[in-house]
Structure 1
Protein backbone atom coordinates (compact mmCIF):
# COMPACT_ATOMS: atom_id res chain seq x y z
CA UNK A 1 0.00 0.00 0.00
CA UNK A 2 1.14 3.52 -0.75
CA UNK A 3 1.55 6.06 2.01
CA UNK A 4 -0.52 9.26 1.66
CA UNK A 5 0.49 12.37 3.59
CA UNK A 6 -2.59 14.36 4.53
CA UNK A 7 -2.44 18.18 4.80
CA UNK A 8 -3.93 19.85 7.90
CA UNK A 9 -6.98 21.11 6.00
CA UNK A 10 -8.01 17.53 5.06
CA UNK A 11 -7.20 15.85 8.38
CA UNK A 12 -10.70 16.27 9.85
CA UNK A 13 -11.97 14.23 6.87
CA UNK A 14 -9.65 11.32 7.72
CA UNK A 15 -10.15 11.21 11.47
CA UNK A 16 -7.30 13.61 12.23
CA UNK A 17 -4.60 11.37 10.75
CA UNK A 18 -1.44 12.96 9.31
CA UNK A 19 -0.77 9.91 7.19
CA UNK A 20 -2.89 7.06 5.85
CA UNK A 21 -2.31 4.13 3.53
CA UNK A 22 -4.31 3.06 0.51
CA UNK A 23 -3.83 0.50 -2.23
CA UNK A 24 -3.95 0.92 -5.96
CA UNK A 25 -1.85 0.52 -9.08
CA UNK A 26 -1.94 4.20 -10.03
CA UNK A 27 -2.47 7.59 -8.41
CA UNK A 28 -6.16 7.67 -9.35
CA UNK A 29 -6.82 4.26 -7.81
CA UNK A 30 -4.99 5.17 -4.61
CA UNK A 31 -6.91 8.44 -4.25
CA UNK A 32 -10.22 6.72 -5.04
CA UNK A 33 -9.41 4.12 -2.36
CA UNK A 34 -8.77 6.99 0.05
CA UNK A 35 -12.11 8.56 -0.91
CA UNK A 36 -13.86 5.21 -0.51
CA UNK A 37 -12.44 4.79 2.99
CA UNK A 38 -13.03 8.46 3.89
CA UNK A 39 -16.02 9.71 1.84
CA UNK A 40 -15.65 13.34 2.94
CA UNK A 41 -12.46 13.55 0.86
CA UNK A 42 -14.27 12.71 -2.41
CA UNK A 43 -15.44 16.23 -3.20
CA UNK A 44 -12.31 17.76 -1.72
CA UNK A 45 -10.09 15.82 -4.14
CA UNK A 46 -12.21 15.21 -7.23
CA UNK A 47 -14.47 17.31 -9.43
CA UNK A 48 -17.74 16.08 -10.92
CA UNK A 49 -15.79 14.87 -13.96
CA UNK A 50 -13.71 12.49 -11.82
CA UNK A 51 -10.51 14.46 -12.36
CA UNK A 52 -8.46 16.10 -9.63
CA UNK A 53 -9.84 19.44 -8.55
CA UNK A 54 -7.67 22.13 -10.09
CA UNK A 55 -6.72 23.49 -6.68
CA UNK A 56 -5.41 20.12 -5.46
CA UNK A 57 -1.78 19.26 -6.14
CA UNK A 58 -0.59 15.69 -5.72
CA UNK A 59 3.06 14.69 -5.58
CA UNK A 60 4.42 11.19 -5.99
CA UNK A 61 7.82 10.95 -4.31
CA UNK A 62 8.28 14.73 -4.70
CA UNK A 63 7.20 14.85 -8.38
CA UNK A 64 4.01 16.64 -9.39
CA UNK A 65 1.77 13.97 -10.94
CA UNK A 66 0.46 16.53 -13.45
CA UNK A 67 3.88 16.50 -15.17
CA UNK A 68 3.99 12.71 -15.01
CA UNK A 69 0.92 10.76 -16.18
CA UNK A 70 -1.62 12.47 -13.93
CA UNK A 71 -4.04 10.06 -12.27
CA UNK A 72 -2.64 7.26 -14.47
CA UNK A 73 0.84 7.55 -12.90
CA UNK A 74 1.92 4.13 -11.57
CA UNK A 75 2.31 3.75 -7.82
CA UNK A 76 4.46 1.17 -6.05
CA UNK A 77 4.11 -0.31 -2.57
CA UNK A 78 6.87 1.89 -1.12
CA UNK A 79 5.77 5.14 -2.79
CA UNK A 80 4.52 8.23 -0.97
CA UNK A 81 1.79 10.54 -2.20
CA UNK A 82 1.56 14.05 -0.80
CA UNK A 83 -1.67 16.00 -1.19
CA UNK A 84 -1.19 19.77 -1.19
CA UNK A 85 -4.18 22.05 -1.67
CA UNK A 86 -3.22 25.17 -3.61
CA UNK A 87 -3.25 28.35 -1.61
CA UNK A 88 -4.69 31.57 -2.95
CA UNK A 89 -4.89 35.08 -1.70
CA UNK A 90 -2.47 37.80 -0.85
CA UNK A 91 -2.50 41.52 -0.83
Structure 2
Protein backbone atom coordinates (compact mmCIF):
# COMPACT_ATOMS: atom_id res chain seq x y z
CA UNK A 1 0.00 0.00 0.00
CA UNK A 2 1.26 3.47 -0.89
CA UNK A 3 2.41 5.92 1.76
CA UNK A 4 1.09 9.48 1.54
CA UNK A 5 3.14 12.23 3.19
CA UNK A 6 1.40 15.51 4.06
CA UNK A 7 2.75 19.06 4.41
CA UNK A 8 2.41 20.71 7.82
CA UNK A 9 -0.76 22.60 6.81
CA UNK A 10 -2.64 19.37 6.02
CA UNK A 11 -1.10 17.66 9.03
CA UNK A 12 -2.61 20.33 11.28
CA UNK A 13 -6.00 19.89 9.61
CA UNK A 14 -6.22 16.10 9.76
CA UNK A 15 -3.90 15.32 12.67
CA UNK A 16 -1.54 12.99 10.82
CA UNK A 17 1.68 13.51 8.89
CA UNK A 18 1.39 10.38 6.77
CA UNK A 19 -1.08 7.71 5.85
CA UNK A 20 -1.06 4.36 4.07
CA UNK A 21 -3.63 3.98 1.28
CA UNK A 22 -4.62 1.38 -1.28
CA UNK A 23 -4.47 3.12 -4.66
CA UNK A 24 -3.70 2.27 -8.27
CA UNK A 25 -3.66 5.84 -9.58
CA UNK A 26 -3.29 9.22 -7.89
CA UNK A 27 -7.03 9.91 -8.25
CA UNK A 28 -7.63 6.96 -5.90
CA UNK A 29 -5.39 8.64 -3.31
CA UNK A 30 -7.44 11.85 -3.42
CA UNK A 31 -10.73 9.94 -3.28
CA UNK A 32 -9.63 7.98 -0.22
CA UNK A 33 -8.36 11.10 1.56
CA UNK A 34 -11.67 12.89 0.98
CA UNK A 35 -13.62 9.86 2.23
CA UNK A 36 -11.50 9.53 5.38
CA UNK A 37 -11.35 13.25 6.14
CA UNK A 38 -14.60 15.08 5.29
CA UNK A 39 -12.92 18.42 6.01
CA UNK A 40 -10.89 17.89 2.83
CA UNK A 41 -12.28 18.62 -0.62
CA UNK A 42 -10.76 18.42 -4.07
CA UNK A 43 -10.02 22.13 -3.84
CA UNK A 44 -7.88 21.43 -0.75
CA UNK A 45 -5.23 20.16 -3.17
CA UNK A 46 -5.47 22.92 -5.80
CA UNK A 47 -2.45 24.86 -4.57
CA UNK A 48 -0.26 21.85 -3.98
CA UNK A 49 2.32 20.11 -6.07
CA UNK A 50 2.50 16.33 -6.14
CA UNK A 51 5.50 14.04 -6.24
CA UNK A 52 5.26 10.30 -6.62
CA UNK A 53 8.44 8.42 -5.76
CA UNK A 54 10.47 11.67 -5.77
CA UNK A 55 9.27 12.74 -9.24
CA UNK A 56 7.17 15.91 -9.46
CA UNK A 57 4.07 15.22 -11.53
CA UNK A 58 2.44 18.06 -13.46
CA UNK A 59 -0.93 16.40 -14.15
CA UNK A 60 -1.15 13.59 -11.58
CA UNK A 61 -4.78 12.38 -11.63
CA UNK A 62 -4.17 9.26 -13.72
CA UNK A 63 -0.55 8.78 -12.69
CA UNK A 64 0.08 5.18 -11.53
CA UNK A 65 0.74 4.58 -7.85
CA UNK A 66 2.55 1.36 -6.97
CA UNK A 67 1.99 -0.48 -3.68
CA UNK A 68 5.41 0.68 -2.45
CA UNK A 69 5.09 4.27 -3.75
CA UNK A 70 5.53 7.38 -1.65
CA UNK A 71 3.15 10.19 -2.58
CA UNK A 72 4.12 13.67 -1.39
CA UNK A 73 1.90 16.72 -1.20
CA UNK A 74 3.73 20.03 -0.94
CA UNK A 75 2.98 23.68 -1.54
CA UNK A 76 4.14 25.40 -4.70
CA UNK A 77 7.21 27.55 -4.22
CA UNK A 78 6.95 30.96 -5.84
CA UNK A 79 9.36 33.78 -6.15
CA UNK A 80 9.35 37.27 -7.39
Separation in 2, partners of 1:2, 1:14: 18
Which has the bigger relative contact order, CA under 8 A and spacing at least 6? 2
Residues 61-76 of structure 1 aligned to structure 2 (within 5 Å): 61-66=53-58, 70-76=60-66
- SS class of match (1:24): coil
Normalized against structure 1, the TM-score is what?
A: 0.75
Unaligned runs of 5+ in 1: 46-52
Unaligned runs of 5+ in 2: none
Equivalent pair of 1:5/1:18 in contact (CA under 8 Å): yes
The alignment of Structure 1 onto Structure 2 pairs a total of residues equal to 79
Q: If each structure's helix is expressed as a fraction of its own residues, which one has the higher value?
A: 1
